[in-house]
């Protein structure tokens, strides 16, 4: 089974590090197809960036399908374009925020989200409501480090994250940490050991969910609102996005 890991921002470096962290998690026989969004923002730190990451992401999904992918992971904590992706994809699509939050409720009665910039907290907040976890998510916290700066000072980041997580666990009386950015994936294992609580990285969670759906032969329902898009003309620089017809 080939699984496509899509980095919705255009940072090739981040894609590489995501792939490096994800590769060892795949089950024997499964294959990782890590791709970087070809068009859009270098990082996603607001609604504008997020909206503009979607066309490239949808294109990537169609290409991935063409390249034999049988499942897709959207590796940005805002789960950009998730439902749109489910409409066009034949195979399962999982977002990392969704994956991390769902998983968190299986290992704790309450979780805290630790993300990058405060301005992105509203995105997590809206997802918590959409997914139905307002009783489980006890707090959303920001370390105020831009996405692309996450890898600039690894030690500093570790220190800051450790402090932020400890503070979140105490203030929220929560039992698990959800990492609020794909760029934090590589910190999960170490933080988990240090903090002694589950630290959940949505990227690995989503990969496993896609593998799981594949093994269960389950995919997006094509009955009703997630059916393939209706055929129709598309215009302008997006004319190539027309489907079917």
Is 42 a binding residue for a copy of itself by CB under 8 A? The answer is: yes
Task: Return d(Cα 152, Cα 244) in angstroms, integer.
Answer: 44
Task: Return d(Cα 41, Cα 19) in angstroms, integer.
Answer: 20
Q: Which stretch binds a copy of itself (CB under 8 A): 13-21, 132-140, 157-165, 178-186?
A: 132-140
Question: Between residues 68 and 83, which has the closer beta carbon with respect to a copy of itself?
Answer: 83
| DSSP 3-state of 35 | strand
Please name the helix (run of DSSP H) or strand (run of DSSP E) that holds residue 120, with its range, or none: none
Least separation in angstroms between CB 147 and a copy of itself: 9
Task: Return d(Cα 186, Cα 71) in angstroms, integer.
Answer: 22
Task: Return d(Cα 148, Cα 10) in angstroms, integer.
Answer: 11
Least separation in angstroms between CB 55 and a copy of itself: 6
Q: Which stretch binds a copy of itself (CB under 8 A): 13-21, 53-61, 153-161, 178-186?
A: 53-61
The sign of the dihedral angle between the CA atoms of 26, 27, 33, 39 is negative
Is 110 a binding residue for a copy of itself by CB under 8 A? The answer is: yes
User: Is residue 169 exposed (0-12), middle (13-18) or buried (19+ Cβ within 10 Å)?
Assistant: buried
Contact with a copy of itself (CB under 8 A): which of 8, 64, 78, 92? 92
**Subset of residues 161 to 200 that bind a copy of itself, contact rule: CB under 8 A:** 169, 173-176, 189, 192, 196-198, 200
Least separation in angstroms between CB 189 and a copy of itself: 8
Task: Return d(Cα 74, Cα 225) in angstroms, integer.
Answer: 20
**Total of residues contacting a copy of itself (CB under 8 A):** 102
Least separation in angstroms between CB 227 and a copy of itself: 6
Site string for a copy of itself, 212-241 (x = CB under 8 A): xx-xxxxxxxxxxxxx-xx-xxxxxxxx-x
């Amino acid at each position: 089974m080939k699984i496509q890991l899509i980095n919705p921002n255009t940072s090739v470096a981040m894609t590489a590090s995501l792939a490096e962290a994800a590769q060892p998690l795949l089950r024997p026989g499964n294959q990782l197809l890590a791709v970087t969004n070809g068009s859009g923002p270098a990082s996603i730190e607001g609604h504008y960036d997020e909206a503009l990451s979607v066309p490239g992401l949808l294109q990537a999904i169609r290409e991935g399908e063409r390249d034999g992918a049988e499942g897709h992971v959207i590796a940005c904590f805002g789960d950009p374009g998730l439902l749109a992706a489910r409409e066009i994809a034949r195979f399962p699509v999982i977002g990392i925020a969704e994956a991390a939050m769902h998983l968190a409720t299986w290992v704790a009665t309450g979780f805290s989200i630790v993300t990058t910039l405060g301005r992105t907290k509203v995105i997590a907040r809206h997802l918590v409501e959409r997914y139905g976890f307002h009783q489980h998510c006890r707090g959303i916290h920001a370390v105020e480090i831009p996405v692309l700066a996450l890898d600039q000072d690894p030690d500093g980041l570790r220190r800051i994250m450790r402090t932020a997580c400890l503070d979140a666990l105490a203030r929220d009386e929560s039992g698990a940490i959800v990492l609020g950015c794909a760029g934090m994936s590589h910190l999960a294992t170490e933080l988990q050991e240090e903090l002694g609580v589950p630290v959940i990285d949505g990227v690995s969670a989503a990969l496993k969910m896609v593998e799981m759906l594949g093994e269960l032969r389950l995919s997006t329902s094509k009955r009703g609102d997630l059916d393939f898009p209706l055929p129709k003309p598309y215009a302008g620089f997006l004319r190539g996005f027309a489907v079917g017809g």
